[in-house]
């Protein structure tokens, strides 16, 4: 019994002499794992159109029922995404989200991705509901903001066919 006490005290004294691992958090951030699932983002194509087509598969796959999607139809005068529909309303309740990544796996257009941002704080419940405007990534440099005006019949697929850059 006395030997165990001495081994325990030895461990304690050894740890007292080692240098502590301290990260000065706001200035210095530790890298996250490659498979870390953090804040959600809605992606865009290079031309600025949104990748989300309003199919609601992410909402169906969410085990916590944290995602709400309401779809609407695109017109040539107001085009948000290629294809027939777009997500008019897209909301994620971050208080309900369990960051499982099922929404990312279920998305056929790879519109929703979970990034590496883990700094999520709210002062009230309304701030925890992220609307579509908060989730969308900024418009690329070469792209245009949505909605866009397009010529009739230009977009007939929900995932645009990539053009060969040598043409």
Domain 32-135, CATH class in plain words: alpha beta
Question: Please, how many CA atoms are within 13 Å of residue 2, restricted to the half-sphere of its CB?
Answer: 0
Q: For 64-68, 128-132, 159-163, which range has the lowest pLDDT when averaged over its residues?
A: 159-163
Contact residues for 32 (Cβ-Cβ < 8 A; gap 6+): 38, 116, 118
| 143 alpha carbon, distance to own chain's centre | 20
Mean pLDDT for the stretch of residues 2-9: 92
Whether the CB-CB separation of 99 and 37 falls below 8 Å is answered with yes
| Residue 154 confidence (pLDDT) | 78
User: pTM for the complete prediction?
Assistant: 0.79
Distance between CA atoms of residues 5 and 11, nearest Å: 10
Q: Which residue has the tokens 């969308």?
A: 136
pLDDT tens readout for residues 66-125: 999 999 999 889 999 988 899 999 999 999 999 999 999 999 999 999 999 998 999 999
Residue ranges covered by each domain of the chain: 32-135
């Amino acid at each position: 019994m006395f030997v165990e006490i001495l081994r325990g005290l030895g461990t304690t004294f050894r740890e007292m002499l080692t240098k502590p691992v301290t990260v000065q958090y706001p200035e210095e951030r530790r890298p996250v794992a490659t498979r870390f699932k953090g804040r959600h983002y809605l992606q865009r194509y290079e031309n600025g159109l949104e990748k989300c087509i309003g199919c609601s598969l992410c909402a169906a796959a969410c085990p916590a029922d944290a995602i709400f999607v309401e779809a609407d139809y695109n017109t040539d005068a107001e085009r948000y995404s290629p294809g027939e529909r777009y997500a008019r309303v897209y909301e994620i309740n971050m208080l309900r989200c369990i960051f499982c990544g099922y929404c990312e796996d279920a998305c056929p257009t790879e519109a929703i991705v979970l990034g590496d941002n883990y700094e999520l704080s709210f002062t009230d419940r309304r701030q925890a509901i992220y609307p579509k405007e908060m989730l969308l990534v900024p418009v690329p440099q070469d792209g245009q903001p949505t909605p866009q005006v397009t010529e009739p019949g230009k977009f007939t697929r929900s995932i645009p066919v990539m053009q060969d850059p040598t043409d």
